[in-house]
Amino acid sequence: MAQRKLCPVWIGRDRPACAHALLRVHPECDVIFSDDGLQHYRLQRDVEIAVVDGTRRFGNGLMLPAGPLREPISRLQQVDAVVVNGGAARDGEFAMQLAGTHFYNLLNPDLIKTAGDFTGQHLHAIAGIGHPQRFFALLQQLGLQCIPHAFPDHHVYTPSELSFADT
């Protein structure tokens, strides 16, 4: 996103400090999206939107480490909107579906490809997100033949983890 000049992207464990630093450098920003921001209570907000996995929903209903939740389900009563990613929305929820069709080269953001450009190629798909199977399934739906490499959410990669003998 940052390289494509869509918006500034800042990364940091301390979400409030990161947001303040971003606003000092980019005072024109009037919207901040924060991954896992719901659980960062020191982060000032005007609107809270919770995104729920439409397939897994709330799992066993328990919080980490016993379950998949970072906040209790009751926390949803305090948010302004609930968006369901990849599943049926219930009363009062909004549905969304990931529909990625283009791939952007991180080293050269002007280089844009479609799934068809990768037909017949040997690919490695790397994901360090909360539910990587959904990402790998999307790639498969696009017709890509990938070897999946799943890592924990927010994983910090080492060069050896991104190096493959067949590339």
Query: With 60 as the cut, is the pLDDT of residue 2 above it?
Result: no
* Domain boundaries along the sequence of the chain: 15-96, 102-162
The answer to whether 47 and 15 are in contact (CB under 8 A) is: no
Scanning 10-97, the segments in alpha helix (DSSP H) are 15-25
The answer to whether 57 and 87 are in contact (CB under 8 A) is: yes
The answer to whether 63 and 71 are in contact (CB under 8 A) is: yes
- Rounded to 5 degrees, φ, ψ at 134 are -65, -40
Query: With 80 as the cut, is the pLDDT of residue 164 above it?
Result: yes
CB neighbour class for 84 (10 Å; exposed up to 12, middle 13-18, buried from 19)? buried
User: pLDDT for 77-124, tens place per residue?
Assistant: 999 999 999 889 999 999 998 777 888 887 887 889 999 999 888 899
Question: 132 or 99: whose pLDDT is higher?
Answer: 132
